[in-house]
Structure 1
Amino acid sequence: MTTRIPARPLGSSGIQTSVLALGSWHTYDRMDFADAVEMVAYAVEHGITLFDVGVYGFRGMQPPVFTDVLFSAIVRAAGIDRSDYLLSEKLWLEGYGDGGFRPQLEHALFRVGSEYADLVILGDLRRDDLDLRDLVLDLAGLAEAGLIRTWGVNNWSAANIEALLDIAEAEGVPGPQVAQLKYSVARRSIPDGAPFARLWERGLVMQASDVMEGGILAGNVQPGREVGRDPGSIRERIVADVPAFAAVAEEFGTTPAQLAVAFSLTHPATATTLFGASRLEQVRSNLDAVALVDRIGAETIRDRVAPFWADKDVVDPAGP
């Protein structure tokens, strides 16, 4: 019998998501197609139901981006029904304008071959000319039209998320359910801080991302691909901590990668942990990491990795 990982509620949306989610950034376009089909089919068989397949580029970009387009072919080749997985799309605020988010979303859905997204995540808030009420009402319209089921935000400040929640409550429409945040043994200040604790109490949940710091915490201290931003400029310290972190993983009888994933699941607000994989072995490893929390215990894991909290007292817990 195939062992399946558990699911957790995606806020109050009524959606149950797998505790692991598979991303697509710099993924499927680096893989042999048959290998990608095998990997995604294996993931679904073992309970991974949430797939992040955002459009990471724009028309005319060279080289063109097509990892999301490949995903549509992968699920067809694997024989996976649309009802058997959750689709998460990114919506970029840089593209918000006439028509709201709808033109951008319809383009993304066209590329991925789906009529709707179960979840959309708004990208980083870098514009100061947006009315948050307009965003909330626009997303409510997309939900009413059946184009999305629920929504969340990526790396927004606690104050701005709280404003979104207040607006949604006042307007009587669904608010954000998910905050996608960097969360790892090294980057904990924001999700573990008091400002976000108040949001967790209001029912917001977290999608942990960048849990391996682009592979650095897994032991690849010189990644061969692009790694995400470095808030607090702590990456040099993270690299220096890798040998000691690996030693703790060895004490637990696991790998650094599995311990990094397991840690992300110890936060009470974590609904799902987002990871990238370009090899089936990586998916298998992360699936095994889920059981570590039960085997070792969340409190023990958090205690033993405390010395690797690199952004403590460096990054503002209120967020960007």
Structure 2
Amino acid sequence: MTSTLLPRRRIGTSDLETSALSLGSWHIFDRMDFADAVAMVRYALDRGVNLFDVGVYGLPGKPPVFTDVLWGSIMRAVGVPRDAYLASVKLWIEGFGEEGFKPQLDNAFLRTGLDRADLVILGDLRRDDVRLEDLVDDLAGLTDAGLIRAWGVNNWSASNIRELRRIAAERGVAGPQIAQLKYSLARRSIPDGEPFAELFGAGFSMQSSDVLEGGILAGRTAPTREIGRDPGSVREAIVATVPGIVELAEKLGTTAAQLAVAFTLSHPANVTTLVGATRLEQVEQNIGALDLLERVGADELRSLVEPFWVDRGIVDPEGP
């Protein structure tokens, strides 16, 4: 069992400090025994995990989901004080209307038992009829009301993030502090590209997500649950790299999953890596990735995994 206590890093220029690993909720807690989930979350908190990603992930016409409701019950069962952790809540551009994000936020609070969100992450920008100025103004209002403390975006382009930051600066309000980006051994083109390097150099932060490609990069090449989108249509090519990843992990005395998590921690702008776990042993392995990174070294690790970079030259570094 690992004894590593996770370090904390500041999110952008906000007053939030996040643990190097954060725990997600998408398709997680509704696949677990409740007592096991409580034990897993308690262990994660004891080892220093302080950021939890919570979202209302149901879609019209799909079966109802309850993983966020379960998360709220888990946190109450653990008995952790509210000021001992950070809650990151997803907000969806598709649902942004005349009342702004407030209805979505109220619904998230109802389902989770939260009374505020430390961080909100705006989902993918798929609408062209929403003014970025309106988003910035609405989020500034939610901040002033004490309902959120900071905000960021999920898989937005570098140019749209720069525009958000420009608008916020003109208005004298806080802009986006962090981007949740797909980042893994296989998907590196956007976070490792020049457009985002410029943002990171200006103090912007990253949260790595989809780091195991739905379990594929952990060696489970035929996942049975829903996994994220496939930018560049490279998933088959990713599956083809798995034997090499497993072989390298064995040479390093680790597992493919731990190697994949350790890689994300090597990015200088990555303040936290978002992981999903349905077993306590997986949390232990994820935390142990910090020991692997320290043992091998960031530069050496990044050199060793270079052959597994699948989306190079396929996905535009600017982002979607």
Q: Is the pair's TM-score, using the shorter chain for normalization, greater than 0.5?
A: yes
Within 5 Å, give how 1:115-134 maps onto structure 2.
Answer: 115-134=115-134
1:108 maps onto 2:103 in alignment:
no
> Residue in 1 aligned with 2:314?
314
Q: How does 1:291-302 map to 2 (within 5 A)?
A: 291-302=291-302
Q: Which residue of 2 aligns with 1:7?
A: 8
Structure 2 equivalent of residue 214 of structure 1? 214
Letter of the structure 2 residue corresponding to residue 54 of structure 1: G
Q: Distance in 1 between matches of 2:114 and 2:235?
A: 38
The answer for the alignment partner of 2:32 in structure 1 is 31
Counterpart position of 2:204: 204
Q: Distance in 2 between matches of 1:84 and 1:63?
A: 33
Amino acid corresponding to residue 30 of structure 1 in structure 2: R
| 1:119-198 superposed matches below 5 A | 119-198=119-198
Provide the C-alpha distance between the structure 1 equivalents of 2:66 and 2:239, rounded to a whole number of angstroms.
32
- Residues 57 and 65, structure 1, Cα contact 8 Å, conserved in 2: yes
Structure 1 residue runs of 5 or longer lacking an equivalent are: none
**In 2, Cα distance between equivalents of 1:21 and 1:153:** 16
Query: Quick one: percent identity of the two aligned structures?
Result: 63
- What's the CA shift string for 1:228-268, capped at 9, x where partnerless? 11111111111111011111111111100000000001111
Deviation, structure 1 residue 289? 0.8
Shift of 1:7: 0.7
Between the aligned partners of 2:62 and 2:224, the Cα distance in structure 1 is 20
Matched residue, 2:275: 275
CA contact (8 A) 1:180 1:209 kept: yes
Distance in 2 (alpha carbons) for counterparts of 1:236 and 1:94: 30
Distance across 1 between alignment mates of 2:103 and 2:227: 29
Moved more, 72-81 or 308-317: 72-81
The answer on whether the counterparts of 2:4 and 2:287 sit within 8 Å (CA) in structure 1 is: no
Q: Contact conserved, 1:13 with 1:150, CA < 8 A, in 2?
A: yes
Match status 1:54 vs 2:89: no
Offset of residue 202 of structure 1: 1.5
Pairs within 5 Å for 1:239-278:
239-278=239-278
Determine the structure 2 residue equivalent to 1:43: 44
SS of 2:215's equivalent in the other structure is coil
Work out whether residues 164 and 175 of structure 1, in 8 Å CA contact, stay in contact via their aligned partners in 2: yes
Task: Give the secondary-structure state (helix, strand or coil) at the position aligned to 2:52.
Answer: strand
- Report the CA distance between 1:61 and its aligned residue: 5.5
SS in 2 for 1:247: helix
TM-score normalised to structure 1 length = 0.98
Query: Where does structure 2 lack aligned partners over 5 or more consecutive residues?
Result: none
Letter in 1 for 2:56: V
Displacement of 1:269 in angstroms is 0.4
Question: Shift in Å at residue 63 of structure 1?
Answer: 2.7
Count of aligned pairs between the two proteins: 319
Cα 1:102/1:119, change in 2 over 3 Å: same
2:95 aligned partner: 95
Q: Which runs of 4+ in 1 moved over 2 A?
A: 60-63
How far apart, in 2, do the equivalents of 1:106 and 1:41 lie? 26
Matches within 5 A, 1:66-77: 66-77=66-77
Structure 2 CA distance, aligned partners of 1:121 and 1:290? Answer: 25
What aligned pairs does 1:230-245 form with structure 2 within 5 A after superposition?
Answer: 230-245=230-245
Deviation at 1:46, TM superposition (A): 0.4
Native 8 Å contact 1:2 1:45 kept in 2: no
Q: What amino acid is the match of 2:162? A: E
Instruction: For residue 217 of structure 1, give the secondary structure of its aligned residue in structure 2.
Output: helix
Q: CA RMSD in A?
A: 1.2
State how far apart, in whole Å, the 1-side matches of 2:234 and 2:3 are.
40
- TM-score, normalising length: structure 2: 0.98
In 1, the alpha carbon distance for the partners of 2:30 and 2:235 equals 27
Q: Report if the CA contact (8 A) 1:5-1:18 is conserved.
A: yes
